[in-house]
Structure 1
Amino acid sequence: MKHILLLPHGTAGDVFPQIWVGRQMLRRGHKVTMIWTEAFRETALKAGLDFVALKDEGYEEMIRNPALWKPHESLKLTYSFAGRSIGPYVHAVMEAAGRHGMPDLMLAPIMAFAAPLLRAKLGVPLITTHIATLQLMSAHEVPLSVPAARLLRRLPLLLRKTFLKLVAPYDHLAFSQVRSGCRTHGIRPPRRLRDWWHSPDGGLALFPEWYAGPQPDWPAHTLQWDFPLEDVADEKPLGPELSAFLDAGEKPVVFTLGSFHLHSRRYFEVAARIAAELGCRAVFATREVSQAPAALTPSVFVTSYAPFSALLPRARAFVHHGGIGTTSQCFAAGLPQLITPLAYDQPDNAACVERLGAGLQLDIGQFTVKRALPLLRRCLTDGGIRQQAAACAARMRQRPDADKLAAWLEARCLNSSPSPA
């Protein structure tokens, strides 16, 4: 039995894929510990994982900041929080080691800056996890969340490579904490923060090739897999009231800006008017139901959480922010989707959906009844979009054997991997 450490960083869309990986390793008889903020303790424990809470460095304050969902400002907040989290991550890992012994493998995204430090300090192999193409930062297909990405895509490849190599506008927000952490633990700091982005032990891309194919400048030893499709449906099934609503009439249109978006009152006001114009039933999913309009007709149901794997097969279409977990659940349900991207990987996910013909996108600043209504109506009536959404669902049913992924991870555990660089 091996001890596997999961070190996620982000909101539910970032944490759930790690829980899915943890489940696969649990099935193989391994001990799995997740380290992240207290908000995810119950979810992790119900999934069968051990859990060590990261000392709060302002997580709740960060997710309540409206700038978290704005391009550029969001990355500033995220990098700053990641830097502050280095010390607490190290402390929590040592606590987990005290409980269950030294870990044999760690899995962490690039923003968990403590993970490479721990790899060097403890000699424990590290697999860098990627849930979206943004985290792999290819010059061959510059992510749309990168500043001036559309302009960069028009430049020769050499200039794109040079730009991405030299320009790092957010690194300074965390690099001083990285250097400080390295000094504290006797580790040589990286010359640049991005030198720590990709572990030499391997990388795991949790999205399929039909969605985004591998690029020549991806790190070596990267395994591309599939969407995890984790939404903790076994632990958090559809509530009885929502189930009764779905049983009581025609399939609804589902609207959300993500489980952790706490500034979406205007969005749901527009969504309510759109549903009224269409004469359709609707489900609004938002962590804080007070964000929905107070006076809604019985044709609109508001829920603080619903597992999309159970909800979306009973829906007509999905209007959402373009998070990778939400997008992949939409693919699995064969639903047409209208995406209103905000930040992070969401513009790239929206572009992929449009490229596949499975939906449309609209800038969140243009989310008005006048602009969104005709696009949603097209999603509901356009045979081509519905056909391509169904084709995506068919691809999603061709899933690889998760035991092969688990075996790949086992082969990279301690004593099966090269020594730390």
Structure 2
Amino acid sequence: MSHVLLLPYGTSGSTYPFIWLGRQLMAGGHRVTLVTAPRYESIARQAGLNFVATGGEELEQMLKAPSLWKLGIGLATAYTHGGRAAKDYVAAAEEAIAQYGPADLLMAPMICFGARVLREKLRIPLVTVHLYPMMIIKAHLPPVVIPPFLWLRRLPLLLRRLILWFPNPLDLFAYPAVRRCCAEHGVTPHSLWKKWWDSPDGVLTLFPDWFAPPQPDWPKNLLQWDFPLEDMAAERPMDEALARFLAEGEKPVLFTAGTGHFHAEAFFSTAAKLVRELGCRAVFITPKTDQVPRDLPAGVFVSAYAPFSRLLPRARAFVHHGGIGTTSQCLAAGLPQFVVPMSLDQPDNADRVKHLGVGLCISQGRFTVERALPLLRRCLEDEKLRESAGEHASRLHDRPSPDVLLDWLEKRMRSTHPSRIPAAHTRDHP
């Protein structure tokens, strides 16, 4: 039995996929410990995982920062706080090892820089987990990190490679704190962009190839998987009042700005006006319900949480921020989606939704009643769009066997590799 440490960093949409990974690993006979912010302890333990909380307040401070949800600036905010959190993750992971035993594998997103420090210090294999395509920034088909990347795609390949060779803002904002963490633990720091973006031990992507087709310059030691579609429905069932609301009338339109957005007053104000114009029923989903206007039209239900796998089949359309968890649940439900991307991975996810023909999108700055109303009406009335959403939902009905994923992960565990970590990138493509 091997011991795996999972080290997610971010909102529920960034944490639930790691809980899903933990479920798969436990089903395969492995011990799993989740190491992350204290806010996720209860749900992790309900899922049966060991848990060790990180110290510090970097995640909470990041989520409270209005700049997190501003295009471009949000990445700088995330990297800055992610860099500062590195020391907290190292300390918590070492506590997990002391409490639950030596670790045979680390799994973390790129932004959990503490995981890479641990790999170098303790020689524990690390698998970098990319939850969305935006994290694979390569020249062949650059993701839409920011809108100018749409122009980058039109340039010759050699010029794209040259532009992406230049320093990444990641080093500017996160590197100083990561360097201090490295110094405290006797680790030699390297460029986060050029050396530490992907682990040489393995890269796992949790999105299917029809959502993001693999490119020639992706890492060679990469396994592309499917959407986890983990929403903790068993541990957090639908509120009875919401269930009654859904049963009492026509299917509603759903609105959310994401579980981590604490500054979405403008989004919900526009949402309320759209509902009035349409005369439809609606559900507003936000953990901070004080963001919702008080003078809501009749037929609007406000919920702090809802399991999307249960809610979305009972809705007409979903207006949302474009987080990968919400986007994938819409795809699974065959539900037309209207994406209002704000920051981080959301613009790239929105671009993919549009090109798949399963939804429409508009930038946060253009999300006004006048501009959004005709697009939302299309989501509700366009049969071609609804048919396309249904066709893509069928792609998610046949899930790949987790045995392949477990076999790939087990080959990267320290207990199966007496020579510990290879010096260079492995070349064994799964």
Q: How does the TM-score come out when normalised to structure 2?
A: 0.95
2:71 alignment partner AA: P
Find the residue that maps to 1:375 and give its secondary structure: helix
Residue 413 (structure 1) aligned with residue 424 (structure 2): no
State the alpha-carbon separation in 2 of the partners of residues 298 and 244 from structure 1: 16
Find the residue that maps to 2:80 and give its secondary structure: helix
Indicate how the Cα distance of structure 1 residues 64 and 48 shifts in structure 2: closer, same or farther if over 3 A, else same.
same
CA-CA distance at 1:193 after TM superposition: 4.2
Following superposition of structure 1 onto structure 2, how do residues 135-214 of structure 1 map, counting pairs within 5 Å?
135-146=135-146, 148-191=148-191, 193-214=193-214
CA-CA distance at 1:192 after TM superposition: 5.0
Match of 1:118? Answer: 118
CA-CA distance at 1:168 after TM superposition: 1.1
CA-CA distance at 1:72 after TM superposition: 2.0
CA-CA distance at 1:251 after TM superposition: 0.5
Return 5+ residue gaps in structure 2 as ranges: 424-430
Q: Which runs of 4+ in 1 moved over 4 A?
A: none
CA contact (8 A) 2:90 2:118 kept: yes
Find the residue that maps to 1:194 and give its secondary structure: coil
Residue 34 (structure 1) aligned with residue 60 (structure 2): no
Residue 318 (structure 1) aligned with residue 322 (structure 2): no
CA contact (8 A) 2:9 2:59 kept: no
Match of 1:3? Answer: 3
1:419 alignment partner AA: R
Match of 2:16? Answer: 16
CA-CA distance at 1:415 after TM superposition: 3.0
State the alpha-carbon separation in 1 of the partners of residues 240 and 20 from structure 2: 25
State the alpha-carbon separation in 2 of the partners of residues 81 and 385 from structure 1: 39
CA-CA distance at 1:218 after TM superposition: 0.9
Q: Deviations over 1:214-262 (max 9, x none)?
A: 1111111100000000111111110000000000001000001101111
Following superposition of structure 1 onto structure 2, how do residues 11-410 of structure 1 map, counting pairs within 5 Å?
11-146=11-146, 148-191=148-191, 193-410=193-410
Q: Deviations over 1:46-82 (max 9, x none)?
A: 1111111111233222211111101221111111111
State the alpha-carbon separation in 1 of the partners of residues 70 and 320 from structure 2: 16
Q: Deviations over 1:127-154 (max 9, x none)?
A: 0000111111121111211473122112
State the alpha-carbon separation in 1 of the partners of residues 406 and 321 from structure 2: 31
1:403 alignment partner AA: D
State the alpha-carbon separation in 2 of the partners of residues 194 and 39 from structure 1: 32
2:388 alignment partner AA: Q
CA-CA distance at 1:12 after TM superposition: 1.1
State the alpha-carbon separation in 2 of the partners of residues 127 and 105 from structure 1: 8
CA contact (8 A) 1:104 1:125 kept: yes
State the alpha-carbon separation in 1 of the partners of residues 65 and 34 from structure 2: 25
2:314 alignment partner AA: R
CA-CA distance at 1:113 after TM superposition: 0.9
CA contact (8 A) 1:87 1:181 kept: yes
Return 5+ residue gaps in structure 1 as ranges: none
State the alpha-carbon separation in 1 of the partners of residues 3 and 255 from structure 2: 39
State the alpha-carbon separation in 2 of the partners of residues 192 and 288 from structure 1: 34
State the alpha-carbon separation in 1 of the partners of residues 172 and 269 from structure 2: 39
1:2 alignment partner AA: S
State the alpha-carbon separation in 1 of the partners of residues 288 and 57 from structure 2: 22
State the alpha-carbon separation in 2 of the partners of residues 281 and 57 from structure 1: 38
State the alpha-carbon separation in 2 of the partners of residues 191 and 41 from structure 1: 32
2:420 alignment partner AA: S
State the alpha-carbon separation in 1 of the partners of residues 177 and 265 from structure 2: 36
State the alpha-carbon separation in 2 of the partners of residues 120 and 169 from structure 1: 23
1:42 alignment partner AA: S
Find the residue that maps to 1:195 and give its secondary structure: coil
CA contact (8 A) 1:57 1:84 kept: no
State the alpha-carbon separation in 2 of the partners of residues 224 and 32 from structure 1: 22
RMSD across aligned positions (CA): 1.3
Q: Deviations over 1:253-274 (max 9, x none)?
A: 0001101111111211211121
1:332 alignment partner AA: A
CA contact (8 A) 2:58 2:82 kept: no
State the alpha-carbon separation in 2 of the partners of residues 222 and 153 from structure 1: 23
Indicate how the Cα distance of structure 1 residues 179 and 269 shifts in structure 2: closer, same or farther if over 3 A, else same.
closer
Q: Deviations over 1:141-170 (max 9, x none)?
A: 112114731221121111111111213123
CA contact (8 A) 1:175 1:193 kept: no
State the alpha-carbon separation in 1 of the partners of residues 398 and 139 from structure 2: 30
